[in-house]
Structure 1
Amino acid sequence: MGKLDSSLFILSIVNVSRNLSTHVKSVIKNCLSVTGVRNKNDSFYNVDDALALFNRMINKHPQPSIVEFTKLLGAIVRLKRYAIVFSMCRGMESVGISHDDYSLSIFINCFCRLGRIDLGFSVFGKMLKLVVKPSIVTFSTSINGLCNQSKISQAVSLFDEMIERGIEPNVVTYNTLVDAHCKNVMISKAEDIVESMIKRGIEPNVVIYSALIDGHCLQHNVDKARRVLQLMIENGCLPDICSYSIMIKGYCKAKMLDEAMELFHEISRKDQFLIVSHSPLLCTVCVN
């Protein structure tokens, strides 16, 4: 795994940090006393504990590997304290800790979650120019950030670049692209992506099938949506409550209430627990 020269990365982070909004800067200031929910894999209970652990790590001799630091950064991300990650980054760089593709992917993810995909790409661009080879995680993170901002064409271009670089896409990458195309009512292109996915030997999962169902419903093609649902079952991919809810909602919006109730009763016969435990959700879907 390639390493990025510390001095170069310090400059890159300083440059992008200068462009952070006032909101993000205030988050850094205010987050220090915010309590988070402990994950079973975390060795701290809140942000104060995380910062204390971080300080122990950077002052330890010998210092922990970048892998240990990325575990901590990942835990901070799960607490949704994205701005603190940048502060920790500067601390890591100040003691000469070099980053790898995974830690840089975390930084890109934080920028994307803060709505600053432009700053995320400034990090991504430096990775391409320097010695760190982007991984599938890096590309998937960036693609997801673009899709979240409905920059679909740029996401597809980045996906194509990932293929050109010999990085094999995984089901998570496909999930992101298919869902984004369907939400933007580009169902035919979504189906092309699924076809390409299958040719690569990756079977669609419940997320992708549900996205296709939703895409057809958004275009008022409930018959096609129902065929996707049936194909999903025939291919051995069991629909979940979200899949059924999307289909029922599609029927309701098309004023096909008889079909909606028929599907409602159909799934109740198949799985009594499913229908009882989620009936409020299904009723809400039908009402809306």
Structure 2
Amino acid sequence: MIFEAKAALGSFLSSVSWISILVTYEDKPLLMSSCLIAVLLMHVTAFVFIAWKRFSIFWRAYFIGCVFVLGTSVVKLASSSWTALGLYLCVVSFFHISEYLATALFNPSTLRLESFLLNHSFAYHFAHFICVVEYLIWRQVFPGIKLYTSVQILGLCLCIFGEYFRKAAMYTAGVGFTHLIQYEKRKEHELVTSGIYSICRHPSYAGWFCWSIGTQILTCNPVCFVGYFFASWKFFDERIYEEEQLLINFFRDEYLKYQSRVPTGVPFVQGYRLRYRS
């Protein structure tokens, strides 16, 4: 594993280590003291070996870990009506740290600070903001909607499935996977049609789409569920359409044959279809 990945993982775990204090603070003072010492040692190690070398990686990974700890704290300490919000914070933070680590493992040559996807777009950040706002409004006016455990479990399962599907796509594609659309064919770029790519043409997008709507089922946000569904669908519809024009140009008949037998993976998205003149 390259140093950047180790730095990100170490920083994230240093932050997450505060959970040990949360678990032991109630009636295990001796164990809590031991955990506190361990946590402090982890932080000293992180600062000495990571922060001074790669501070830009350290603060991002540590911040993601803090969000995960906040989510865990909400689940453990707050009332049941807050549980879904805590799980949502855990799911989102895990997504961002796992994106960076997966890139480091499967295609390290493309690893950048942007691989955390923290600066994805204004629309992406605004969507998270609106999700939290809707959660707070519903909890205030109709708190019972946040207690549908079966719905929350369904949403969490969709998030886990989407996460797995996307990371499986990154693993299978290897050096062929990038976070940005490639407008020129690289010499190592090959068309991947095996593994999870034999199920759908764009498993990373299908996984992210599933993860996206899963977060809103998890939080029991009916308005955001509709908004996320259509916004995500629109984004991937346009993205796949543009990307497949390039893929057809790169791989010609090989991609057209693949396209004819395998769906995109995102509901109701057809992708770019080459039209022949009669």
TM-score, structure 2 normalization: 0.27
With a CA cutoff of 8 Å and minimum separation of 6, indicate the structure with the bigger relative contact order. 2
TM-score, L = length of structure 1: 0.26
User: Which of 1 and 2 has greater Rg?
Assistant: 1
